């Protein structure tokens, strides 16, 4: 039986649920390790280790990047959908956590309610990684930071602007900026602001780094002086029934070539993907010379490998 306990310095043996768990020094070390692994991808330091991957939400980037990452680190990943687990027949999260802890070295979950990830972590004796919940997407934020560092050299005096819904991606990006000292502004329609409890947590983190956290309803004002402009779909997974309403509510919040002119001349565009061209972003922007979305997508692999290595080795 696996006997790993959630103790130790840095990230070793620790859960990764929100990004708030990482101290500034640990986050910096993780990003440096991600860059090193990107340059030298095959490093079998996790030989004999197994990652259980629970998917209650479908995925392209999360599944492939974690599975490929474990392989490149010498370990193995198990894809587990609801139909593969007794969760789909009513077994509790607690029982699932205890069983998987006896078989594997870590558990990644991609699900809806954030409380499920917290419950899993509470009862698992091995580290739990949040691959996405409705409240946070911290693995995406790690890739975002790695990409911004590659594009801009460092985080000093940088401004990141998110245009769209105050969702899980916005929450984790806001925390990532707060942790690294970058100014963060979200421009969203009224009623689509970030969760207030999450915003307060980001503000607390920002108080330690000097980052500025702002919420506005005017995209043109938001992107003034921006180094990075970021967007996501207007209707996330599980919100499909709201698509028509959201299309109307988000009129004027599309990232297009005109909006990009309000930012710095060397501003770059990021998107967590999948993207709906013609809705939250035009094809001219996402497929244009200022876009780094496919570098950003690739960086999910490298950032998560660094995370896995620091947690498991």
116 strand-pairing partners = none
Q: Which residues contact 84 (CB under 8 A, 6 or more apart)?
A: none
Q: Among residues 105, 134, 165, 232, which one is catalytic?
A: 232
Q: Among residues 177, 188, 268, 272, which one is catalytic?
A: 272
| Backbone phi, psi, residue 106, to 5° | -165, 160
Known binder of ligand: residue 100?
A: no
Q: Among residues 14, 300, 302, 304, which one is catalytic?
A: 300
Q: Among residues 14, 15, 110, 123, which one is catalytic?
A: 110
Structure-block tokens of residue 293: 């979305």
Active site residue 140: yes
Known binder of ligand: residue 273?
A: yes
Active site residue 232: yes
DSSP letters of 196-253?
HHHHHHHHHHHHHHT--EEEES-HHHHHTT-SEEEE--SS-TT-GGGHHHHHHHTTT-
Known binder of ligand: residue 188?
A: no
Q: Among residues 137, 171, 246, 302, which one is catalytic?
A: 137
Burial of 216 (0-12, 13-18, 19+ CB in 10 A): middle
Cα 274 to Cα 261: distance, rounded to the nearest angstrom: 24
Active site residue 63: no
Structure-block tokens of residue 304: 């998560």
Q: Among residues 140, 254, 296, 304, which one is catalytic?
A: 140
Known binder of ligand: residue 277?
A: no
Known binder of ligand: residue 300?
A: yes
Known binder of ligand: residue 144?
A: no
Known binder of ligand: residue 72?
A: no
Known binder of ligand: residue 256?
A: no
Known binder of ligand: residue 2?
A: no
Active site residue 300: yes
Catalytic residues: 110, 137, 140, 232, 272, 300
Known binding-site positions: 59-62, 86, 110, 137-140, 168, 232, 236-237, 272-273, 300
Residues placed in the known binding site for L-ornithine: 168, 232, 236-237
Binding site for carbamoyl phosphate, residues?
A: 59-62, 86, 110, 137-140, 272-273, 300
């Amino acid at each position: 039986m696996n006997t790993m306990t959630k103790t130790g310095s840095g990230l070793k043996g620790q859960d990764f649920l929100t990004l708030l768990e990482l101290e500034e020094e640990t986050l910096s070390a993780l990003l440096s390790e991600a860059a090193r692994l990107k340059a030298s991808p095959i490093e079998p330091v996790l030989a004999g280790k197994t990652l259980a991957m629970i998917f209650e939400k479908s995925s392209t980037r999360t599944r492939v990047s974690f599975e490929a990452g474990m392989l490149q680190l010498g370990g193995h990943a198990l894809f587990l959908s609801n139909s593969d687990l007794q969760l789909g027949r009513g077994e509790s999260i607690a029982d699932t956590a205890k069983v998987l802890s006896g078989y594997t070295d870590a558990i990644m979950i991609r699900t809806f309610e954030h409380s499920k990830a917290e419950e899993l972590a509470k009862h698992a004796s091995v580290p739990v990684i949040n691959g996405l919940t409705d409240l946070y997407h911290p693995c995406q934020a790690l890739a975002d930071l790695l990409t911004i560092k590659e594009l801009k050299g460092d985080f000093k005096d940088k401004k990141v602007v998110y245009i769209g819904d105050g969702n899980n991606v916005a929450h984790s990006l806001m925390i990532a900026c707060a942790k690294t000292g970058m100014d963060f502004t979200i421009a969203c329609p009224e009623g689509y602001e970030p969760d207030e409890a999450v915003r307060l947590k980001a503000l607390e983190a920002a108080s330690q780094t000097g980052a500025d956290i702002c919420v506005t309803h005017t995209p043109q004002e938001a992107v003034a002086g921006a180094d990075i402009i970021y967007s996501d779909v207007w209707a996330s997974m599980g919100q499909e029934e709201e698509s028509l309403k959201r299309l109307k509510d988000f009129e004027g919040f599309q990232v297009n070539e005109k909006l990009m002119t309000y930012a710095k001349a060397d501003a770059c565009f990021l998107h967590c993907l999948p993207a709906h061209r013609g809705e939250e972003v035009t094809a001219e922007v996402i497929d244009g010379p200022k876009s780094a979305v496919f570098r950003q997508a690739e960086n999910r692999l490298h950032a998560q490998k660094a995370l896995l290595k620091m947690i498991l080795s």
